[in-house]
């Protein structure tokens, strides 16, 4: 299996996110994406969620509006023990040369260090994680080009 670092640049092409820095979190079961202004909408009988994303850490300048089918709503317990009901979506993720579908919960991560966590469900049987290295499959360590 290929090895990835404890943080990597990812893209979410179906959501229009060309790049965001993600924490590779083997302690988290599910993956989480920073989202705000989350609203449920219905299109042709299908329930979807529309939401906004700040893709860059410590910055609210860039805003991406995205939409995806609502797969589920799930109660997730945070690392400090708080429970929250979160919308769940499926989307493609790209990391280096790899591209695959993952399940993402949407939550406001404004106060967190990373806009996205890639949890162990999304990595299972795909990667090994080297906790001492970063950006092993990223084109560079700065913001991704648009």
Query: Domain tally for the chain?
Result: 1
* pLDDT attached to residue 113: 76
Please report, for the domain that includes residue 83, its CATH number: 2.40.70.10
pLDDT value, residue 32: 93
pLDDT in the model for residue 83? 87
Give bridge partners of residue 84 from the DSSP assignment.
76
| Residues 6 or more apart whose Cβ sits within 8 Å of residue 66 | 12, 15, 16, 17, 35, 50, 51, 52, 53
Q: Is residue 2 part of a domain?
A: no
Burial of 122 (0-12, 13-18, 19+ CB in 10 A): buried
pLDDT, residue 99, reads: 95
C-alpha closest to that of 21 among 12, 8, 34 = 8
Is 57 within the bounds of a domain? yes
The predicted structure's pLDDT at residue 143: 45
What is the per-residue pLDDT for 145?
42
**DSSP conformation class of 120:** H
pLDDT value at position 76?
A: 85
Give the single-character DSSP code of 56. S
Q: Domain for residue 31, yes or no?
A: yes
The answer to whether position 136 is within a domain reads no
Write out the residue range of the structural domain in which residue 35 sits: 12-126
Residue 141: what pLDDT? 47
Q: Kindly list the distances between the CA atom of residue 30 and the CA atoms of 38, 46, 58, 79, 120, in Å, as whole numbers in the listed order.
A: 19, 24, 23, 12, 7
pTM: 0.87
Given a cut of 70, the residues of the chain with pLDDT beneath it are 79, 111, 139-146
């Amino acid at each position: 299996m290929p090895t990835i670092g404890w943080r990597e640049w990812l893209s979410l092409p179906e959501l229009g996110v060309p790049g965001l820095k993600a924490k590779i979190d083997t302690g988290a079961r599910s993956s989480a994406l920073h989202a705000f202004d989350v609203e449920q909408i219905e299109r042709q009988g299908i329930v979807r969620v529309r939401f906004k994303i700040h893709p860059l850490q410590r910055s609210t300048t860039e805003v991406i509006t995205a939409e995806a089918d609502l797969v589920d709503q799930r109660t997730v317990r945070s690392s400090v023990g708080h429970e929250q009901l979160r919308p769940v979506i499926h989307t493609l993720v790209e990391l280096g040369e790899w591209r695959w579908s993952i399940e993402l919960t949407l939550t406001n991560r404004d106060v967190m260090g990373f806009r996205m966590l890639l949890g162990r469900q999304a990595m299972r049987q795909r990667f090994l994680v080297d906790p001492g290295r970063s950006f092993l499959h990223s084109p560079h360590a700065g913001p991704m080009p648009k």
